[in-house]
Structure 1
Amino acid sequence: MGLLSLHDLLAVLCGSVVGFSLALIGGGGSILAMPLLLYVVGLHDPHRAIGTSALAVSANAFANLLPHARAGHVRWPAAFMFAATGVVGAFLGSSLGKVIDGHHLLVLFALLMLVIAALMLRGRGGHDGTGYPRRHMYARLGLVGLGAGILAGFFGIGGGFLIVPGLVFASGMAMINAIGTSLFCVGTFGLTTAINYAASGLVAWPVALEFIAGGVAGGWLGMSAAQRLSRKRGALSVLFAAVIVAVAIFMLAKSLLP
């Protein structure tokens, strides 16, 4: 069996970058999956990049769900309600995304990256869960889940930056529970999107598997680094938001300039 090609190594390394950043700062890393697949790994087709990144994001979310579930951080009734309507939204969003011109998708995706960077800079407020469960919680979860699923499906992202505050808003759960619960929703949304794109032949399976393998390895490294750098995670979030802004500007320049 021959050595890995440069293309294979780039897919593994890019997956490692996404997994590492997700574990280190707790969110936002999956937004880099599509631009890395496009501009570093070289998939070129935005629709194939979305389908492939959705599969990789889903696998990494389910892998990271296990330790949170063991620690009791997952509010399962809320997770099932949010995911049930979110799956419908992800299917609708991914179906729409497949018929949108790839060039327009990249512009919209770059603008979304700027929004995510702004949300990361705002940070996550403290929520102790004393308001859980809120009145009409399941109706709230259903509506917010549908909206988050549509966006996650349309852009092929995990959507954790939407899901975590959405869970807190709809249910009043503590932040640590929202983070754990969101991983089940991210995994479910991503899997729905990936299946929809795979049905149209828009998933690069070898690249997806390499990206997932790199993401698992990067996640282990990121968890180790997070324990040592816990006091600096605020500064790391600012740095990571700056990287997202830079990538978004690069994507806009590539898409809009002749």
Structure 2
Amino acid sequence: MELALLAIAVGVGVGLVVGALGAGGGILAVPVLVFLLAQDPHSATASSLIIVLVTALFSIPHHARNGNVNWREGLVFAGVSVVGAVAGSRLSVLVDPQLLLVLFGSMLVAVAVLMAVRGVRGRRQENLERAAHGTSEADQPLLTHDDPVLDAPGPDTVIAADGTHTHHGKPADHSAGPGSRRLPVVIVAATLTGFLTGFFGVGGGFIVVPMLVIALGLAMRRASGTSLLVMIVATVVSLLARIGTHVSIDWTVTLLFAAGSAVGGMLGGPLSAKARPSTLTLIFATLLGGVAAVTLGTTLLG
């Protein structure tokens, strides 16, 4: 009973962070499952996949209703990620548990640095956008339905004076799939996303979102919604790939954690209503840095 209550409590806590910061639940769930809920690393990565899947399933309807899920390109990206997901899942169960945690902690450090860089760049872009619109932070809310930063097209898409969208200097065909748009980059990014999902039990949103923005020219808001579709496919495949391995899942703890995370996510969303996206990104980077320090310190020194 105590373990069940703890699972719910920490699930709500992780959900609050995910909802408020827009962070990926899996990247926080694994260390929590290992160090607070006493799961072994292999079981924790498998349980994390379920938590990521539940979170994405609860989150995607809202984005879909608002037209922020690009189904065609998202499904193509997700389909390519399947190969990496299967390979990552099969390889993960063969790695020593301590080494798995060290690799996970190292990944946290890398992601924290990338997020910090993205946060700094995002802050500069926000300042430029608001200066161009003649508004200040005190004059307008930063996360509204029409946000100049979140709704701006990706860096490879340009809106001309007549409103025409061009991609790499050519008219953008929004009905086309990603086959004509940096296909090698998309294949590598999708495969890597699938591998990280299967190997570490994370959703891979920290890779999917920027790649959908850069390689496909999607706006940040649309890329965030589409990334949930990719996560759903990648996590399902990663779980299926673990069938027949020695990894076991504590379903009671995992489902209670996932339920708590879903509730926390709904409560945490409104907390970010008036925060700058760049501020949330920098807070997330700091949080990841702290989790990485605890993970590596406990694993290497404990």
Do Structure 1 and Structure 2 share a fold, with TM-score over 0.5?
A: yes
What does 1:1-258 correspond to in 2, within 5 Å?
5-43=1-39, 45-123=40-118, 125=122, 126=149, 127-129=152-154, 130=157, 131=167, 136-137=180-181, 139=183, 140-200=185-245, 201-227=247-273, 230-231=274-275, 234-257=278-301
Superposed CA deviations along residues 131-150 of structure 1, whole A, max 9, x for unmatched, are: 35577227343332112111
- Superposed CA deviations along residues 50-85 of structure 1, whole A, max 9, x for unmatched, are 000111111101210110011111111111110001
5+ long unaligned stretches in structure 1: none
Q: Do the aligned residues in 1 keep the contact of 2:26 with 2:201 (CA within 8 Å)? A: no
Displacement of 1:234? 3.7
* CA distance in 2: counterparts of 1:232 and 1:73, whole angstroms: 20
User: Which letter does structure 2 place at the counterpart of 1:166?
Assistant: M
Distance 1:240 1:147, change over 3 A: closer
- 2-structure distance, mates of 1:93, 1:119: 22
- Aligned 8 A contact 1:56 1:209 in 2: yes
Task: After TM superposition, give the deviation of residue 23 of structure 1 in Å.
Answer: 1.7
Report which of the two has the higher share of helix: 1
Do 1:121 and 1:238's aligned partners in 2 also have CA atoms closer than 8 Å?
Answer: yes
In 1, Cα distance between equivalents of 2:207 and 2:293: 22
Q: 1:26-51: per-residue Cα shift (whole Å, max 9, x none)?
A: 124431100000111111x1000000
Q: How many residues align?
A: 251
C-alpha distance in 1 between matches for 2:290 and 2:189: 30
Bigger mean CA offset, 103-112 vs 248-257: 248-257
RMSD over equivalenced CA pairs, Å: 2.0
Structure 2: give runs of 5+ residues left out of the alignment: 123-148, 158-166
Instruction: State whether residues 189 and 207 of structure 2, in contact with CA within 8 Å, keep that contact through their aligned partners in structure 1.
Output: no
Q: Helix, strand or coil for the counterpart of 1:157?
A: coil
Structure 1's 197 and 207: CA in aligned 2 closer, same or farther, altered over 3 A? farther
Q: Is the 8 A contact 1:144 1:170 kept in 2?
A: no
Q: Normalized against structure 1, the TM-score is what? A: 0.89
1:78–1:141 CA contact under 8 A, matched in 2: no
Q: Is the 8 Å Cα contact of residues 25 and 51 (structure 2) preserved in structure 1?
A: no
